[in-house]
């Protein structure tokens, strides 16, 4: 419940910033969002925005963080919601808060120990997002800081597909945004895997030229 409340707080903050940046009472606004925020955060923002500004037509494209940054830089979209790093020499930004990346697995797999170490996951059992995604960048960077490199058994460009794979592949583990699995954790479908000496957080940003 605490994390759900935090998500809605982020949505309220982002809706306020979107309103101020767009400066629109009518017209069209093209937005881009990386996959996690595009699915689990931005819909609430757009619903609130539309309630206040019904005459503004909004277009939203959802891809990975790298593609959203490229679209903003090329003026294909006006604003982008992303996770993680970006080129601050080219883009302006507003921080919308933080997100946590956690290791999760299907409920009660016998092969998962209560406490694990990052090195336990470097090969053979992880399912990760694709290169270029905000989640993958955060995980790769966190492992690099430990002098490690993680090699997934499968790379997937869709979080919902990863969640289905976790359910059907006992013993597999994935790193996902906490906001994307809050329902599954609450329902007991997934459980968080405790990893010693590893905490992965990233900023959520609104970017524009």
Given a cut of 70, is residue 3 above it in pLDDT? no
Looking at residues 118-144, what average pLDDT do you find?
91
- Tell me the per-residue pLDDT of 139-191, one tens digit each, with 9 for 90 and over: 999 999 999 999 999 999 999 999 999 999 888 999 999 999 999 999 999 99
Consecutive H or E run containing 76:
none
How is residue 157 written in tokens?
């460009």
Q: pLDDT digits over 28-61, tens only?
A: 788 999 988 999 888 888 888 788 778 888 899 9
CATH number at residue 79: 3.40.190.10
208 belongs to a structural domain: no
Cα angle 41-44-50, degrees, rounded to a multiple of 5: 135
Domain membership of residue 107 (yes or no) is yes
Domain that holds residue 135: 99-203
Q: How many domains does the chain have?
A: 2
Task: Say what the pTM is.
Answer: 0.80
Q: Is 74 in the same domain as 61?
A: yes
110, 198: one domain: yes
């Amino acid at each position: 419940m605490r994390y759900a409340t935090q998500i809605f707080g982020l949505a309220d903050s982002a809706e306020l910033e979107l309103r101020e940046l767009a400066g629109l009472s009518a017209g069209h606004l093209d937005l881009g969002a990386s996959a996690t925020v595009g699915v689990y955060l931005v819909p609430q923002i757009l619903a609130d925005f539309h309630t206040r500004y019904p005459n503004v037509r909004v277009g939203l494209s959802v891809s990975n963080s790298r593609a959203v940054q490229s679209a903003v830089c090329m003026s294909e979209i006006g604003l982008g919601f992303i996770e993680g790093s970006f080129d601050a020499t080219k883009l302006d930004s507003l921080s919308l808060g933080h997100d946590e990346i956690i290791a999760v697995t299907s409920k009660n797999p016998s092969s998962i120990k209560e406490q694990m170490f990052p090195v336990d996951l470097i090969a053979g059992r992880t399912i990760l997002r694709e290169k270029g995604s905000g989640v993958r960048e955060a995980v790769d960077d966190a492992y690099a800081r430990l002098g490690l490199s993680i090699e997934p058994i499968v790379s997937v460009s869709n979080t919902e597909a990863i969640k289905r794979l976790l359910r059907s592949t006992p013993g597999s583990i994935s790193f996902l945004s906490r906001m994307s699995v809050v329902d599954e954790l609450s329902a007991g479908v997934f459980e968080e895997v405790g990893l010693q000496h590893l905490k992965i957080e990233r900023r959520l940003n609104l970017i524009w030229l």
